[in-house]
Amino acid sequence: MMRLHGRTVYGYIYAVVVTVLFAIINFSYHKLCRHQHLRLRMSVPDKGDMAEPYECVNIDGDLAVCDKDECAGAWKPPRAHHCSICGTCRLDFDHHCPWLGNCVTMRNMQRFLLFIGLTPLTVALAVAPIIKITLQHAVEAVAISRSDPWARSVWWDWWGSWIFIGGPIGRWVFGGVLGVRALQRHNSACPTLCSPGCLVERPHLRLMSTFALGSLFALFALGLAIITARNVLRGRTMFELLRGCNVRYICIPSSGEQSRSGVYAIDQPDASWLYDLGAARNWGAVIRASSRANGARFTWPKINPNVLNRLVMRDAK
């Protein structure tokens, strides 16, 4: 193996890769928190000017307005949703993220996916060298704890350990914490701020709790990344997945094909696929929305042609 000043080159490459990944995650988080969304103050378009099929609120083909908070009767475009925390409507709303303190929409979705996708990868890389030894310490701590007379009397033999501090799982977690304390009492040779490596080589609560919290956060981010990527490829938002698509009517204007024009009532499950144009085009729509993130321009979302055909054929029967 190549060596550089006594250390392996692979060690340097590892340190650089993990540092760069952490920097990208921090930068993405900062940009997502500070993302300035387009403020919607648009008046309702004239429905007589419409040329493409659009979602409407009633059989007359009227467009939606929002009366909540600062929207005060402004137009609520298709796929916009009123975020009650931000107090305004957001275009292409996905969800309001409490950890970012900001909305996630199609316009910052690309960066959001990068953030939640890179987080589990970075945490996995960061903890990889210490997984084995940390798990060994956890097993050792529980074993010591269960054989320690003091830990048995205050925790393991107490009925409340099954209920308090997290139930049955918390019983083992807190039992392990008592075991680390017992281990540290037995290994008093390790001072509070010991030599580099001691923090890993000997059981330390700081390292073990950071390991556990980082792993839980990474698993959460991984689950969210999979669900969000699936939503994007299926042409729907998290809001539509959780609440269902609440579109009730579709208007096909007479300026298009005369034989198809009219207002059509739409039911689930067709409403769920209203904006699904196929994985490639759905992904392209997110890329285009991200590129005009600060361009402040609304473009009408394209409606799934299969859904339109089904509506027309259903009403023609």
| Least separation in angstroms between CB 303 and Zn ion | 22
The answer to the question of residue 72 lying near Zn ion (CB under 5 A) is: no
| Least separation in angstroms between CB 118 and Zn ion | 23
The answer to the question of residue 39 lying near Zn ion (CB under 5 A) is: no
The answer to the question of residue 125 lying near Zn ion (CB under 5 A) is: no
Looking at 32, 83, 178, 182, which residue binds Zn ion (CB under 5 A)? 83
The answer to the question of residue 51 lying near Zn ion (CB under 5 A) is: no
| Least separation in angstroms between CB 109 and Zn ion | 14
The answer to the question of residue 80 lying near Zn ion (CB under 5 A) is: no
Part in contact with Zn ion (CB under 5 A); list of ranges 47-55, 103-111, 238-246, 286-294: 103-111
Looking at 47, 82, 152, 202, which residue binds Zn ion (CB under 5 A)? 82
Looking at 85, 154, 194, 287, which residue binds Zn ion (CB under 5 A)? 85
Looking at 103, 116, 123, 151, which residue binds Zn ion (CB under 5 A)? 103
- For Zn ion, the binding residues in 207-246 under the rule CB under 5 A are none
Part in contact with Zn ion (CB under 5 A); list of ranges 79-87, 111-119, 138-146, 253-261: 79-87
Looking at 35, 96, 111, 137, which residue binds Zn ion (CB under 5 A)? 96
Part in contact with Zn ion (CB under 5 A); list of ranges 4-12, 17-25, 63-71, 153-161: 63-71
Q: Is 9 left (phi over 0), alpha (psi -120 to 50) or beta?
A: alpha
| Least separation in angstroms between CB 82 and Zn ion | 3
As a whole number of angstroms, the distance between CA 76 and CA 89 comes to 7
Q: For Zn ion, which is the closer residue by CB, 15 or 85?
A: 85
The answer to the question of residue 104 lying near Zn ion (CB under 5 A) is: no
As a whole number of angstroms, the distance between CA 311 and CA 278 comes to 19
As a whole number of angstroms, the distance between CA 82 and CA 91 comes to 9
As a whole number of angstroms, the distance between CA 138 and CA 143 comes to 9
The answer to the question of residue 107 lying near Zn ion (CB under 5 A) is: no
Interface residues with Zn ion (CB under 5 A) are: 66, 68, 71, 82-83, 85-86, 89, 96, 103
